[in-house]
């Protein structure tokens, strides 16, 4: 089961309600903690990806502005682009 399907909202709510109905508060708290951890991780990942995408966009714009005499600068930007692409691939 992937992490995305693990937190199916309807299933999650059903499970929490089941635990509460059965007075299984520890299990409900465990689910709540798991959801909080998932949300924090998702937020951190999305923030990192947003930063990487902005960096890719900025570098692409810089590269497009260069002329024929800027080969050295172009190579530097391309290396930065490759690094940024590798950074985004870490989040697959």
pTM (predicted TM-score): 0.56
pLDDT of residue 91: 58
pLDDT of residue 61: 87
Contact 16, 8 (CB under 8 A): no
Alpha-carbon span 50 to 56, nearest angstrom: 10
Query: 71-89 and 25-65 helices cross at what angle (nearest 10)?
Result: 170
Question: How confident is the model over 61-84, as pLDDT tens digits?
Answer: 888 888 878 888 888 888 888 888
pLDDT of residue 86: 80
User: Could you write out the three-class secondary structure of 37-82?
Assistant: HHHHHHHHHHHHHHHHHHHHHHHHHHHHHCCHHHHHHHHHHHHHHH
What mean pLDDT is predicted for residues 26-41? 82
Domain range summary for the chain, segments of one domain joined by +: 3-89
pLDDT of residue 1: 39
């Amino acid at each position: 089961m992937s992490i995305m399907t693990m937190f199916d909202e309807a299933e999650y709510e059903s499970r929490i309600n089941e635990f509460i109905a059965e007075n299984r508060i520890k299990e409900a708290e465990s689910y709540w903690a798991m959801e909080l951890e998932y949300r924090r991780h998702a937020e951190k990942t999305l923030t990192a990806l947003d930063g990487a995408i902005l960096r890719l966009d900025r570098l692409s714009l810089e590269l497009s502005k260069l002329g024929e005499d800027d080969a050295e600068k172009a190579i530097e930007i391309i290396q930065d682009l490759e690094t940024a692409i590798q950074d985004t691939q870490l989040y697959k």
